[in-house]
C-alpha cells in the first residue's frame, strides 16, 4: 500500500461563503485528482501557473478542506479537521522559506519551538535542533542566525530542517527551489533526494519546471486546468508523452534534450 494516497480530490473556492454562493463565483481549482506516493519516492506535480498545484498541496497537508475525495496516510483516511498529531506527520515546504521561519526568531529558536510543542524538554530539543541542522548540511552556527542573515539556499535548508522537526513521513514541497539560483537549486534538490532515501520520506514535489522534474522525480503527474492529464514514471513520460498537453509542455523545453538522463 502506498504511504500517501490522494483519491479523487476536488478543491472548490468560493463555496460555503453565503455572499459568494452564486454559481459564477465558485471555482474548481482541483478536479478529481488521484495520486499516490510511496516511502522514498519523489512524485512530481508539474503544470503551468494556475493549474491547481498549490491548491492540491494545501489540501493534502490539511491547510484547506477539499470539497470531496479522500486523503489517506498509511491506509488511514485523514479527517477534514486534522488533529495535531496527524498534522505533524506531514509537513509543507514553501517557495518562500520565510513562510515557515519567523523573522524575529533565530533558526535554532524556530526549530526548538516546534520540538517543544511536540513535548520535548529544552535540553533534548537543543540537541535535536543541532542534529537537524546538520542533516540539512548547515553548520551549527546557523542555529544562532536570524533567517534574513542567511542566503536563499541556506534559508531553504533551514526551513527544511524545521519541517523535519516533527519527524514527518510526508513532505509536500511547493516550488521549494523556484526562487533560488540554478546552482543552488541543484544542491537543495540533492538534499531532498538524500532525505527521502535516508528518512524514508514520501515527497510530493510541486513545480512548474520540467527540468527539475526530470532531474529529481521518480514519478510525475502533469496537471492542466485542475486535472491530472498524465501520470507515470518520469523517464517514460519524458520519452513518450501520451497526452497532447504533456507533449506541448515538453516541446516548449528547447534547452533540454529529452533523451538525456542525469
Residues numbered 18 to 37 that lie near ligand ADP (CB under 6 A) are 27, 29
How far apart (Å, rounded) are the C-alpha atoms in residues 260 and 262?
7
* Contacted entry of ligand ADP, Mg ion, none for residue 62, CB cut-off 5 to 8 Å set by kind: none
* Contacted entry of ligand ADP, Mg ion, none for residue 28, CB cut-off 5 to 8 Å set by kind: none
**Grid cell for residue 60:** 493534502
Could you tell me if 88 and 169 are in contact, meaning their C-beta atoms sit under 8 angstroms apart?
no
Could you tell me if 187 and 136 are in contact, meaning their C-beta atoms sit under 8 angstroms apart?
no
When asked if residue 54 is in the footprint of ligand ADP (CB under 6 A), the reply is yes
Which of 52, 62, 66, 168 binds ligand ADP (CB under 6 A)? It is 52
DSSP state of 127: H
Nearest to 171 by CA among 203, 130, 139: 203
Please, which residue, 25 or 247, has the CB nearer to ligand ADP? 25
Which of 12, 36, 55, 156 binds ligand ADP (CB under 6 A)? It is 55
Least distance CB 53 / Mg ion (angstroms)? 5
For residues 128, 131, 137 and 143, what is the CA-based torsion angle, rounded to 10 degrees? 50
When asked if residue 74 is in the footprint of ligand ADP (CB under 6 A), the reply is no
Please, which residue, 5 or 31, has the CB nearer to ligand ADP? 31
First to last CA, the chain: 29
When asked if residue 49 is in the footprint of ligand ADP (CB under 6 A), the reply is yes
When asked if residue 162 is in the footprint of ligand ADP (CB under 6 A), the reply is no
Could you tell me if 169 and 155 are in contact, meaning their C-beta atoms sit under 8 angstroms apart?
no
The residues that touch ligand ADP, with contacts defined as CB under 6 A, are: 13, 27, 29, 47, 49-55
- Applying CB under 5 A, the residues found at the interface with Mg ion are 53-54
Amino acid at each position: 500500500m502506498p504511504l500517501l494516497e490522494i483519491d479523487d480530490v476536488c478543491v472548490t473556492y468560493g463555496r460555503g461563503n453565503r455572499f459568494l454562493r452564486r454559481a459564477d463565483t465558485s471555482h474548481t481549482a482541483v478536479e478529481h485528482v488521484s495520486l499516490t506516493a510511496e516511502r522514498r519516492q519523489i512524485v512530481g506535480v508539474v503544470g503551468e501557473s494556475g493549474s491547481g498545484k498549490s491548491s492540491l498541496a494545501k489540501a493534502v497537508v490539511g491547510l484547506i478542506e477539499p470539497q470531496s475525495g479522500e486523503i489517506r496516510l498509511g491506509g488511514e483516511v485523514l479527517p477534514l479537521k486534522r488533529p495535531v498529531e496527524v498534522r505533524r506527520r506531514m509537513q509543507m515546504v514553501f517557495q518562500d522559506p520565510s513562510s515557515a521561519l519567523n523573522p524575529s526568531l533565530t533558526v535554532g529558536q524556530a526549530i526548538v519551538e516546534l520540538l517543544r510543542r511536540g513535548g520535548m524538554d529544552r535540553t533534548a530539543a537543543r540537541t535535536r535542533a543541532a542534529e537537524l541542522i546538520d542533516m540539512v548540511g548547515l553548520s551549527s552556527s546557523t542555529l544562532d542566525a536570524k533567517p534574513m542573515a542567511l542566503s536563499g539556499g541556506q534559508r531553504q535548508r533551514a526551513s527544511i530542517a524545521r519541517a523535519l522537526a516533527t519527524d514527518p513521513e510526508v513532505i509536500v514541497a511547493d516550488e521549494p527551489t523556484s526562487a533560488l539560483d540554478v546552482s543552488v537549486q541543484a544542491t537543495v534538490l540533492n538534499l531532498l533526494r538524500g532525505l527521502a532515501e535516508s528518512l524514508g520520506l514520501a515527497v510530493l514535489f510541486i513545480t512548474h519546471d520540467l527540468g527539475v522534474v526530470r532531474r529529481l522525480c521518480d514519478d510525475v503527474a502533469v496537471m492542466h486546468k485542475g486535472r491530472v492529464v498524465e501520470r507515470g514514471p518520469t523517464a517514460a513520460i519524458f520519452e513518450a508523452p501520451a497526452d497532447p498537453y504533456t507533449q506541448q509542455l515538453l516541446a516548449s523545453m528547447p534547452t533540454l534534450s529529452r533523451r538525456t538522463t542525469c
